[in-house]
Amino acid sequence: MTETMKMTTSTPWHLWAVGVLSLLWNGYGVYDFVMTTTQGAAYMRSMGFDQAMIDYYEAMPVWMWGPWILGVFGAALGSILLLIRNRLAVWAFAASLVGAVISLVYGQFIDPPPLTPEMAMMRWVPWVITAIAVLLAWYAWTMAKKGVLR
């Protein structure tokens, strides 16, 4: 009698913590994207943006929508895939990282936003987003290598 034994790797507690926190973080990114694209200036004003910042976002080149969509939806998909232990989370987070880096380069070096002293903290937001994208891609890659993601 031959029995086939399936090797399984148990799910570490931190996968659930990282997965849930990343889903909350990236879920807000999706919410912000949807609200910005559907409500426009009214939403941005409610978030404390002045008219110069609203004009900046409304004048964003069409090609920048690609990295924004890739970054936001790639990250949300990556979070879901991480929670269901699917190794495609690595690719989703990698795509998200590409979107975040392109957005960072555009907003920091090509066409920086007009930041008033009240909005000065916004200068660091793209760096924080990119750092989190790096950490999530690395985490998913590490979990895939350990066999936690299938």
Say yes or no to pLDDT of 24 above 90.
yes
Domain ranges in the chain are 15-145
Kindly report, residue by residue over 60-115, the tens digit of the pLDDT.
Answer: 999 999 999 999 999 999 999 999 999 999 999 999 999 999 999 999 999 999 98
pLDDT at 68: 97
> What is this structure's pTM?
0.91
Question: Rounded to an integer, what distance in angstroms lies between the CA atom of residue 39 and that of residue 12?
Answer: 40
Residue range 9-34: average pLDDT?
A: 97
pLDDT at 41: 97
pLDDT at 9: 76
- Closest residue by Cα to residue 93 from 144, 42, 41: 144
pLDDT at 26: 98
